[in-house]
């Protein structure tokens, strides 16, 4: 007969298990928030239809060829930055994160779980946008793998920025700051308006914004069928490489 030991073996689980569990929990929390998911999934589709109308400015060639990559970039920014920052900010306010901070969960695993959960949600977003854009006559070009790399790097950059804001500012300030930044990045980052419409001097500066790098990279691949958009990839790597460690370093549980 085998002896059974009931002696507890305290200790933290391996980080891979913690990351998988945290990712699953974060994804379930996102999907349970019906209002947020509805806005996250529906608003990009509405904007895809609106920006495809020749109301704001004229474009050379197919309008949907410019609009579809822009809306994909917008969906990534909305989910990974604005929605995540606001949600996390109020999790801090209501002491949800304080309770997590009392466990063995490291900040890096919390950030990783939120990043992966947002990325999984974005896969659904991109699929819906693609289907709707194809119905509007979009004919994408380029390598789908490059699109995934751009979306993944853009997600990492925006998640880092969103968590840095949410982890250092009060929830009410985060709400205002995230919405203001969303508007600025929408119109100054080559999403709603092509950077070519701005003066050359402004374009030289705006092209380094994370939204501009993601949007331009997606346009280079999906609209023009180009190869690796090295400038945009390096810009996104720079933003992700700065924002994620900063968020992990200065993120406060309460």
pLDDT tens track for 58-105: 666 678 888 999 999 999 998 899 888 988 888 888 877 778 777 777
How many angstroms separate the CA atoms of 71 and 51, rounded?
A: 9
How many angstroms separate the CA atoms of 140 and 117, rounded?
A: 26
Q: Which of 58-62, 154-158, 206-210, 228-232 has the lowest mean pLDDT?
A: 58-62
Specify the pLDDT at position 95.
79
pLDDT digits 0-9 by tens, 178-205: 999 999 998 888 888 888 888 989 899 9
- Supply 89's token pair: 């900010």
How many angstroms separate the CA atoms of 128 and 41, rounded?
A: 8
- Quote the number of domains for the chain: 1
Report which DSSP code applies to 252. -
Among 92, 74, 251, smallest CA distance to 158 is for 74
13 assigned to some structural domain: no
Contact yes or no for 206/189 (Cβ under 8 A): yes
5 assigned to some structural domain: no
Distances (CA, A) of 239 to 56, 60, 160, 244: 30, 31, 8, 8
104 assigned to some structural domain: yes
47 assigned to some structural domain: yes
3 assigned to some structural domain: no
Three-state SS at 249 = helix
Contact yes or no for 213/124 (Cβ under 8 A): no
For residue 110, the enclosing domain spans: 18-51+61-250
């Amino acid at each position: 007969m085998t002896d059974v030991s009931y002696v507890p073996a305290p200790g933290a689980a391996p980080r891979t298990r913690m990351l998988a569990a945290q990712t699953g929990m974060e994804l379930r929390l996102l999907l349970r928030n019906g209002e947020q998911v509805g806005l996250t999934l529906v608003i990009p589709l509405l904007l895809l239809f609106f920006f495809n109308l020749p109301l704001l400015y004229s474009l050379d060639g197919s309008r949907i060829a410019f609009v579809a990559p822009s809306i994909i970039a917008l969906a990534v920014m909305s989910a990974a930055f604005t929605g995540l920052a606001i949600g996390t900010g109020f999790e801090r306010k209501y002491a949800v994160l304080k309770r997590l901070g009392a466990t063995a969960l490291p900040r890096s695993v919390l950030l990783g779980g939120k990043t992966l959960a947002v990325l999984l949600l974005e896969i659904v977003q991109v699929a819906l946008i693609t289907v709707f854009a194809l119905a509007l006559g979009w004919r994408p070009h380029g390598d789908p793998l490059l699109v995934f790399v751009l979306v993944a790097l853009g997600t990492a950059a925006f998640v880092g920025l969103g968590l840095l804001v949410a982890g250092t500012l009060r929830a009410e300030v985060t709400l205002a700051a995230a919405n203001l930044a969303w508007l600025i990045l929408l119109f100054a980052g080559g999403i709603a308006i092509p950077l070519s419409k701005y003066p050359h001097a402004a374009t030289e500066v705006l092209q380094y914004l994370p939204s501009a790098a993601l949007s331009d990279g997606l346009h280079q691949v999906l609209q023009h069928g180009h190869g690796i958009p090295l400038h945009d990839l390096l810009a996104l790597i720079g933003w992700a490489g700065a924002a994620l460690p900063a968020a992990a370093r200065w993120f406060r549980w309460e």
